[in-house]
Amino acid sequence: MYIWHKPKNYVVAYDKHIGLLINFGGTSLQFKKIFNPKYNTAT
């Protein structure tokens, strides 16, 4: 189980548009894009 709020906090704190969460621990590579809500252009 992933904890999504921690990577999001890093993206917001460092003022990045997007972050990438990577998990190498499973049987296959897993990844997820983390978006900064400040830069969310979809309204």
Give me the pLDDT at residue 40, please.
Answer: 74
Domain-wise residue ranges, the chain: 5-39
Distances (CA, A) of 30 to 7, 22, 37, 38, 41: 15, 6, 22, 25, 26
pTM score, two decimals? 0.64
pLDDT at 25: 87
Q: DSSP characters for 3-40? A: --HHHHHHHHHTT-SEEEEEE-SSSS-EEEEEE-GGG-
Residue range 3-38, pLDDT digits in tens: 667 888 899 999 999 999 898 988 999 999 999 989
How far apart CA 19 and CA 9 sit, in angstroms, is 10
- pLDDT score of 1 more than 60: no
